Chains A and B, each alone.
Chain A
């Protein structure tokens, strides 16, 4: 079933056209990535899906309902972990649920443990490393009752080692929790490794240059990164991005 449908979406700021006739969809439980250069309007797209910014034209439909200008229908993982410094890990994780009313502390503790953060429930964000903070931010979004998670380049501030282990960890919590993910990145490898489907944005004004369904089976391991089919895909996507 189609969870999210974006139809002929365009956005301009003044006379500067940012997004031009974007159409795509996300199925229930699917992991879809959008790959695009920085400044191509990926964050702007997320703000429109989040209901903060209105598109110039087009529609955004979530479970059959038009959600343009309507907030509170998605959960969100930003580039910086965006934890509240005065809240402990546990309190941070519960934030989204507090906003909508129902708080499930037990599940929060469970997820924190599963993320390898047992013992840090009552620690403050400044006591955590960058990777740990980002994990907390992910758990917060998985605790959010909404079923679509928007991820805006959440790994870009992490080092390569942390990033690889975060990828595997993200895939494992995603497979255990029934959520759909729309993931935005400018990293080719990351997009290929994580997603079911890949959407490629062009330079400004961004429109959809190509869309692929990826054949790699799940569960995926880090070894996949060095297999010949994966490298072939990488070359294919890379040449598509360079040949403007």
Chain B
């Protein structure tokens, strides 16, 4: 925790300075609240308006958890299949890359046409944004497995399954977590976008309503919530990583010393 403080004080200072500057210019230039509310107004709305967005918040959190779980599950399974069956990888790897060039904003309305307004199209959207970073980093992890260790396993007669379970999978775990960190952050954006498509609740809905009624302070509240949610999911993955990957402790320690 101390370490977080030591490394964190610079960005925190910048943010505080930025907020002070913003607050002062709102006051000095008399900017109307519907164009740009002062940080203090946003903060007030965040506290006072809690009951307005509480249900939206919980609904979005639930959506993220479901979406991220299904998305990472899909990503992991895809990576394992593509790794264990090289023919599948040759066939699907390029398609996977191309799929990432289709803008979600274009795809999302189509998903609504095909699957309606229920939970399904939303989960598909989140899955689509989540699985890619996981699949790519896991595949990288599998492929970068130490050749010496693979040779060792082959020499002592390990089967393909044993090599996967005892060597490639644990070797790729840190890669999985790097992918998960990206996906966790993406999943929040994915959830909000999917709610824009049409939902009865959610931060995305709250945001749309706020901007169409010129409650710019609420738009900023929504932005803050999105940032905080992304951070929370990121930190949760970080926590899991620390818990599961103890053996990397030393290497990370040296990196800290350098930075």
- Chain B residues closer than 8 Å to A78, beta-carbon distance: 148, 151-152, 155
Tell me, yes or no, whether B17 is within 8 Å of chain A by CB.
Answer: no
* From B146, B154, B162, B247, contact of A52 by CB (8 A): B154
- A85 near B247 (CB under 8 angstroms)? yes
- A126 near B149 (CB under 8 angstroms)? no
- A96 near B250 (CB under 8 angstroms)? no
* From A46, A82, A98, A144, contact of B148 by CB (8 A): A82
* From A51, A86, A87, A127, contact of B157 by CB (8 A): A51
- Chain B residues closer than 8 Å to A72, beta-carbon distance: 156-157
Question: Could you tell me the distance in whole angstroms from the C-beta of B247 to the nearest C-beta in chain A?
Answer: 4
Given contacts A80-B148, A84-B167, A86-B170, contact A71 B247 (CB under 8 A): no
- A126 near B156 (CB under 8 angstroms)? no
Q: In the complex, what distance in Å separates the CA atom of A126 from the CA atom of B246? A: 12
Q: Mark A57-79, 1 if CB is under 8 A from B, else 0.
A: 00000000000000111111010
Question: Could you tell me the distance in whole angstroms from the C-beta of A41 to the nearest C-beta in chain B?
Answer: 16
- A126 near B247 (CB under 8 angstroms)? yes
Question: Could you tell me the distance in whole angstroms from the C-beta of B147 to the nearest C-beta in chain A?
Answer: 10
- B155 near A47 (CB under 8 angstroms)? yes
- Chain B residues closer than 8 Å to A74, beta-carbon distance: 155-156
* From B156, B246, B247, contact of A99 by CB (8 A): B156
* From B154, B167, B170, contact of A71 by CB (8 A): B154
Q: In the complex, what distance in Å separates the CA atom of A78 from the CA atom of B152? A: 7
- A46 near B251 (CB under 8 angstroms)? no
Q: Which residue of B lies closest to A43 (CB)?
A: B151
- A50 near B154 (CB under 8 angstroms)? yes
- B152 near A98 (CB under 8 angstroms)? no
- Chain A residues closer than 8 Å to B173, beta-carbon distance: 86
Q: In the complex, what distance in Å separates the CA atom of A82 from the CA atom of B167? A: 11
Question: Could you tell me the distance in whole angstroms from the C-beta of B63 to the nearest C-beta in chain A?
Answer: 34
A interface SS class: loop
* From B149, B162, B245, contact of A82 by CB (8 A): B149
Q: In the complex, what distance in Å separates the CA atom of A52 from the CA atom of B160? A: 13
Q: In the complex, what distance in Å separates the CA atom of A150 from the CA atom of B158? A: 16
Question: Could you tell me the distance in whole angstroms from the C-beta of B190 to the nearest C-beta in chain A?
Answer: 32
- Chain A residues closer than 8 Å to B154, beta-carbon distance: 50, 52, 71
- A50 near B155 (CB under 8 angstroms)? yes
Q: Which residue of B lies closest to A125 (CB)?
A: B247
Q: Which residue of B lies closest to A47 (CB)?
A: B155
- Chain A residues closer than 8 Å to B162, beta-carbon distance: 99
- Chain B residues closer than 8 Å to A230, beta-carbon distance: none
Tell me, yes or no, whether A95 is within 8 Å of chain B by CB.
Answer: yes
Q: Which residue of A lies closest to B154 (CB)?
A: A52
- A126 near B167 (CB under 8 angstroms)? no
- Chain B residues closer than 8 Å to A84, beta-carbon distance: 149, 166-167, 170
- Chain B residues closer than 8 Å to A144, beta-carbon distance: 156
- B156 near A76 (CB under 8 angstroms)? yes
- A124 near B152 (CB under 8 angstroms)? no
Q: Mark B161-173, 1 if CB is under 8 A from A, else 0.
A: 0100011001101
Q: In the complex, what distance in Å separates the CA atom of A182 from the CA atom of B155? A: 14
- A96 near B156 (CB under 8 angstroms)? yes
Question: Could you tell me the distance in whole angstroms from the C-beta of B253 to the nearest C-beta in chain A?
Answer: 10
Given contacts A82-B148, A84-B170, contact A126 B157 (CB under 8 A): no
- Chain A residues closer than 8 Å to B170, beta-carbon distance: 84, 86
Given contacts A76-B152, A78-B152, A84-B167, contact A99 B157 (CB under 8 A): yes
- Chain A residues closer than 8 Å to B166, beta-carbon distance: 84, 95, 98-99
Question: Could you tell me the distance in whole angstroms from the C-beta of B254 to the nearest C-beta in chain A?
Answer: 10
Q: In the complex, what distance in Å separates the CA atom of A73 from the CA atom of B250? A: 36
Question: Could you tell me the distance in whole angstroms from the C-beta of B64 to the nearest C-beta in chain A?
Answer: 30
Binding site for A on B (CB under 8 A): 146, 148-149, 151-152, 154-158, 162, 166-167, 170-171, 173, 245-248, 250-251
Jot down 28 A-B pairs with beta carbons below 8 A, ordered by A.
A50-B154, A50-B155, A52-B151, A71-B154, A71-B155, A71-B156, A71-B157, A74-B155, A74-B156, A75-B156, A76-B152, A76-B156, A78-B151, A78-B155, A82-B146, A82-B148, A82-B149, A84-B167, A84-B170, A85-B247, A85-B248, A86-B245, A95-B166, A99-B156, A99-B166, A124-B247, A126-B251, A127-B250
